[in-house]
Chains A and B, each alone.
Chain A
Amino acid sequence: AQSVTQPDIHITVSEGASLELRCNYSYGATPYLFWYVQSPGQGLQLLLKYFSGDTLVQGIKGFEAEFKRSQSSFNLRKPSVHWSDAAEYFCAVGAGNYGGSQGNLIFGKGTKLSVKP
């Protein structure tokens, strides 16, 4: 069955430190992969997406992610975290019959990021 696992429920980093959020997926075909961010009381905002091609993708707000097929992973990274990055981060894989970006998204349970001053 298709699934997404985010092993870390809560991560705390100091402002200015680097960040890596882990994501592992289970999907039979070439996956469409996404990272979304959700601030308290808000909807989801897309940070970046991977469909094909270069396995290192750049997103908004200085985030990047690397697709590693051999490890079934799509980890999110940022070299220097800002206090405004505190939020919940969700990894998702696109599934369904209408194209991975248009089909139903399968989300992980999320990783809450706290930033220490």
Chain B
Amino acid sequence: DAGVTQSPTHLIKTRGQQVTLRCSPKSGHDTVSWYQQALGQGPQFIFQYYEEEERQRGNFPDRFSGHQFPNYSSELNVNALLLGDSALYLCASSFTGTLDEQYFGPGTRLTVT
């Protein structure tokens, strides 16, 4: 049973560019959450998708957007990249309606130069 997978593993972009990160949830999960983890910090919640809609959002600007597909996989898009967007982006999946915890993927390391 594959856990949460994310692609790519690493990514280098230039300031002002746009980036798309991808996440496949654990089998049986229907909810995907995205977190940003800056160096030396704990993860910060970006947003959560359920039934192909954003249902919760953290304190992140509109440059951060996402999508969930019918197969429950998800994308995180960041426009107009800033140096401060350099971080590890973590995807977590869960099954809504249970008390089960969120399962995290290995993350995508984004470097903005």
Residues of A within 8 A of B (CB): 4, 34, 36, 41-46, 49, 51, 90, 92, 96-99, 101-110
Question: Residue-by-residue, is B88-110 near A (CB-CB < 8 Å gives 1, otherwise 0)?
Answer: 00101010101111111111000
Question: Residue-by-residue, is B61-89 near A (CB-CB < 8 Å gives 1, otherwise 0)?
Answer: 00000000000000000000000000000
B residues near A92, Cβ cutoff 8 Å: 42
User: From residue 25 to 60 of chain B, which have CB atoms closer than 8 A to chain A?
Assistant: 31, 33, 35, 40-45, 48, 50, 55-56, 58
B45 adjacent to A104 (CB under 8 Å): yes
A residues near B43, Cβ cutoff 8 Å: 44, 90, 105, 107
Q: In the docked arrangement, what's the CA distance between A84 and B1, Å?
A: 25
B42 adjacent to A109 (CB under 8 Å): yes
Q: In the docked arrangement, what's the CA distance between A45 and B50, Å?
A: 22
A44 adjacent to B56 (CB under 8 Å): no
Q: In the docked arrangement, what's the CA distance between A46 and B50, Å?
A: 22
Let me know if B4 is at the binding interface, CB within 8 A: yes
B104 adjacent to A51 (CB under 8 Å): no
A residues near B44, Cβ cutoff 8 Å: 107
A43 adjacent to B42 (CB under 8 Å): no
A43 adjacent to B48 (CB under 8 Å): no
Q: How far is the CB of B93 from chain A (nearest CB, A)?
A: 11
B106 adjacent to A43 (CB under 8 Å): yes
B residues near A51, Cβ cutoff 8 Å: 99
A109 contact from B40, B58, B107, Cβ within 8 A: B40
* A-B contacts, 8 listed (Cβ < 8 Å): A34-B101, A42-B107, A43-B107, A98-B56, A99-B99, A102-B102, A104-B45, A106-B45
Q: In the docked arrangement, what's the CA distance between A55 and B96, Å?
A: 25
B41 adjacent to A109 (CB under 8 Å): yes
User: Nearest CB to that of A32 among chain B residues?
Assistant: B99
B101 adjacent to A104 (CB under 8 Å): no
User: Nearest CB to that of A46 among chain B residues?
Assistant: B101
B56 adjacent to A45 (CB under 8 Å): no
B residues near A49, Cβ cutoff 8 Å: 101
